[in-house]
Every structure is written in C-alpha cells, then in structure tokens.
Structure 1
Amino acid sequence: GRYDIVCSVKNLVDLAAVWPELDTEISADAGHSSHEPGITRELVAATDRIATTGSPVRG
C-alpha cells in the first residue's frame, strides 16, 4: 500500500523495472497489513482472478 513502511513503493518501482511482466497495484489507502481494507480488496481481486482465469495477472 501507499503507506507501507515495510516494503516501500520505491522497492515496487525498482522491481517492476527489472520484471516487466509483474502485475502491480498500489493501494492508495493502505500500508502493509492484509487487515487494511485497501490491501484486503486487492488480495480478494487477485484471488478472484486466479479462481476464474488461473492467473493473478489482470487483462
């Protein structure tokens, strides 16, 4: 999430730069915990994608 002090947004940007296939999402209203609504929302969305397509990747 945007307010994550464990895994910074910069780390995500750096990782995405060397892993072009990486599907990323930055929750604007959350930090690191899966108990925060923004993180929960993204985890549920990724799980739903896996259930319907077999892949967590959007598109």
Structure 2
Amino acid sequence: MTRFFPLTATLLAAGPALAHPGAHLHPHDGASWLAVAGGLAVIALAGGLAVARQRGRARK
C-alpha cells in the first residue's frame, strides 16, 4: 500500500508522455486531471474532518 500512490502518480504522468515520441507533457493535458485531483483532495479533506468530528463526539 505504501507504493500504491507513487505508482499511481507515475502511471498517470506517464500516459500523456508515452503518447508522443520524446518525454514531454503538454500543458493543456494537465488541466483536466488537475481539476479532478483538486476535487478529490477537497473530498478527502472533508471526509477526514468528518471522521475527526465523529471521533470527538464518541469520546464525550
């Protein structure tokens, strides 16, 4: 599990680079997955806060 996230990030970054000869990424390719990654980060943060709040209520 500790290598899952780096491997996933590598595979996501390698896809566009493998589409053309030479190692490069197009700037416009990053816009779509950056929005998705930002949304997932917000969801993860909200989930973490909700879990922390529930744990705090359970201890009282």
Greater RCO structure (CA 8 Å; 6+ sep) = 1
Same fold (TM over 0.5): no
Shorter chain as normaliser: what TM range?
A: 0.3 to 0.5
Structure number with higher helix proportion: 2
In the superposition, the TM-score normalised over structure 2's length comes to: 0.34
